[in-house]
Amino acid sequence: MVLSAAIASPLAARLPRREALQTVAGRAGRLFGAAVRADALSADLGFRSAVSRECGIITPEIEWKWAYLEPQQGHLDFAAADRLADFARVAGKRIHGHALLWHRSIPPWASAVLADRPDWILVRRFLSSVMPRYGDVAFTWDVVNEPVEVGAGPDGLRRSLYHQAFGPDYIERAFEDARMLAPTAALFINEFGIDHDLPEENEKRLLLLRLLERLKKKGVPIDGLGIQAHLDLAKQPYFREAALADFLNDVGSLGLQVRISELDVREANPLQPVADRDAQVAQAVGRYLGVALANRAVGSVTCWGLSDRYSWLSSWGRPAGLNRGLPLDSDFNLKPMANILNVAFASLINSA
């Protein structure tokens, strides 16, 4: 399915009062959502209403991570995490829980303990404190985030603190505990850097696939793969439809679901006219989703933020909103990226 032409077409430009993204996604049998920050949701009514309107699912961008929840041992602070959950309950959204085991979100005190005296009880205690608390709204979870690294070792696993402390089996231990704590939720591995036809990304896809095969073979209770899809316009010449399509087929044939979990676009040249920039962003998203959504295993698309006002892409010394890699601009106006998402979902309905 080629969607890029639709961006420039008068149809996409003139889409009248279009349906909300969650609505058109729903009609296509898919889910649409975004990562959100609790502070933005509480303080910014414009943002809150945009999220309410467009998203069927939300991912806590920061506040459900271990480092955030338990900065000091034994002092769990659920205030912000609960605010997100309460918003979801009231607004009728479901939450994708993110991210239980991530090497970049271990609190410093826990890193020190694990490095000195590996004790799985510490990890299990964290999982037990967070998963049942949100069992009514969290329908899916990233159990292990970013476990694969090219060049790390023959098993392809990142030599994270979890790997150092517990060996490669830390992944299955985490999934087994997670299944016990959330028996009906779908459990995911979430990974980045696997979108393009570049040697490192090709190798990483292969290592990830081998890992998923091993886990399935051992009967580990994993339900799916999250593909982060942080697209990068500097890498866009290396996007090749067949590479992504083949990978999705391979993952789907293991019986796993796929979520596009953190979609956004890093721009290569923010000094061009805004209309050109927005068209390039939308085009990259259109090409990507044209392949991804053609595969039935891909059940949902989550953007890593909804509006450029709150995007991690603006964090590297760029003022908020300078990077235009999300569906809504800093003033919550819809951009061509929103149109192309709409067109991508709508084309599934039309072709069904």
Residue number with the shortest CB distance to ligand G3I?
Answer: 312
Q: Does 308 bind ligand G3I (CB under 6 A)?
A: no
- Cβ proximity of 265 and 233 under 8 Å: yes
| In the block, residue with structure tokens 């979430």 | 190
| Residues in region 93-112 near ligand G3I by CB under 6 A | 99, 105
CB of 311 to ligand G3I, least distance (A): 8
Encoded one letter per residue, x for contact with ligand G3I by CB under 6 A and - for no contact, window 167-196 reads: -------------------------x----
Cα torsion 232, 238, 242, 243: sign: negative
Q: What is the largest CA-CA distance in the chain?
A: 63
- Cβ proximity of 174 and 127 under 8 Å: yes
Among 312, 338, 344, 348, binds ligand G3I (CB under 6 A): 312
DSSP string, 134-146: GTTTEEEEEEEES
> Which span (43-51, 57-65, 203-211, 268-276) binds ligand G3I, by CB under 6 A?
57-65
- Cβ proximity of 38 and 64 under 8 Å: no
Encoded one letter per residue, x for contact with ligand G3I by CB under 6 A and - for no contact, window 250-289 reads: ------------x---------------------------
> Which span (16-24, 58-66, 81-89, 155-163) binds ligand G3I, by CB under 6 A?
58-66
- Cβ proximity of 173 and 120 under 8 Å: yes
Question: Is the Cβ of residue 320 or residue 349 nearer to ligand G3I in the bound state?
Answer: 320
Q: Does 204 bind ligand G3I (CB under 6 A)?
A: no
Question: Is the Cβ of residue 140 or residue 145 nearer to ligand G3I in the bound state?
Answer: 145
Q: Does 64 bind ligand G3I (CB under 6 A)?
A: no
CB of 67 to ligand G3I, least distance (A): 7
Instruction: Report how far residue 205's alpha carbon sits from residue 247's, in angstroms, rounded to the nearest whole number.
Output: 7
Question: Is the Cβ of residue 162 or residue 312 nearer to ligand G3I in the bound state?
Answer: 312
| Cβ-defined contacts of 244-251 (< 8 Å, 24+) | 244/195, 244/288, 244/291, 244/292, 245/291, 245/294, 245/295, 247/194, 247/205, 247/209, 248/291, 248/292, 248/295, 248/297, 248/298, 249/295, 250/209, 251/209, 251/212, 251/225, 251/297
Among 21, 28, 38, 62, binds ligand G3I (CB under 6 A): 62
Give the footprint of ligand G3I on this chain (CB under 6 A). Answer: 61-62, 65, 99, 105, 145, 192, 228, 262, 312, 315
